[in-house]
Structure 1
């Protein structure tokens, strides 16, 4: 009796007792029976439809990247110093993502424009797209997105749109232009005095 007890104590500590195997098998068998009974019951069509919808939703989630991590959060886009810029002025469109080592894409809505610009930012989260001299074609709506430099099959959602408004060029009141305007006014004044002198100095009754 003592020898058998010693063998039982010094046996493999990782071994699962036979009783545990029996209980586990019984639980699996019971679950299987319950599932079969439910599928054979009067609510089988309803359960089958629900199961179909559940499986279809899982398939869509996997292929859309919700569970697979294929989509990153959408970036933030803004224009500085202002969305309203004069013709010939300069602005910078910035797109900010959430992670380092990304490749950013700037997209302009509408045809007739090179609507895709690419900027790689390996050590930051903000990409800059400067426009040195704004033309009327640069006005419009812009969005941006990003993706990892090393994983081309994953990308972010598109950002909210931002619009650039191109205004008419303001009057240039530099010193040179003011001097030109003053000179023009003096010339007009002199011409007016000459015409007035000629008019009043002619003899009366002359045609």
Structure 2
């Protein structure tokens, strides 16, 4: 196979990682960067018929599966490809696959700094067995070809340091451990992300659609703009991630719709982006844009509540007044007598003059046929009689 090695070596990767749980699965990928339709060979250990798997590529890449992994599946893997003219590529680098029996509880894991690491600075990843046992810890990185680091830790666990961080260090990490007292391993920890900021990326811009104070309960549109298309933007408020959004098709801008719920939504907003090919390398943050929120909506709500209470009180008073008037509906004054309704009864008319008569003059007598107390009868017609004046000539 050494003869005729005219093509560059393909790349090899293992997903999710070179550390595979017993009974788990993994995928080995071999890829040519320039040549299509090649025949790829995956070799485990030394070249022999039983250690070689072969597959034709539809384009640039082929994948080989490791299913229901056994201990025998562990070992060193590498690949190459050959053309139809029997011209071979150089050998890829080696991938070291390890099969582990996992029985212990997974460790905790944390990365510092928690957010973004500027290129060239240091980062640490800390792993710890919750049972505080002395153990050997392994730091594992997604698609890395070998274990990144191994450290022995005591009750406080183990700390892995990555100095002078470069783009080669970015990615997804996790860890496991093996207690000193045995040969069995723990389950994998949770995943953590090591992201970096690259000051070589142009700084994005950010702006509010309308520069004004916003009341609570409305939506605000925030625009983030980058140097090129096909970017993914992240919107932060005071370093806390609020949302992520890809740029609009054929555009270098992303729109964020922020709903203002209370005064806590006010503050400084910034945005960052990464390119589609590398989600772990970010730009520096944009200059901050301030979102100002006023309390107009709560004031209006309290004013409406107060007005509603006042209207309710007035309505109760009005209903009370109408009810009181209905109770007194039948009572009205007739000729100065307080009575409801009168009946037609014989009335005694007193024709005596009120004062001493004067000869040759006309005297008047007022006929008041309202009795002091008159009880209504069942057949009353409800028609009041007017006062009658009679002139008496002597």
TM range, smaller chain: 0.3 to 0.5
Larger radius of gyration: 2
Structure number with the higher helix fraction is 1
Structure with higher RCO (Cα < 8 A, 6+ apart):
1
TM-score by length of 1: 0.46
Is the strand fraction higher in 1 or 2?
A: 2
TM-score (ref. length: structure 2): 0.26
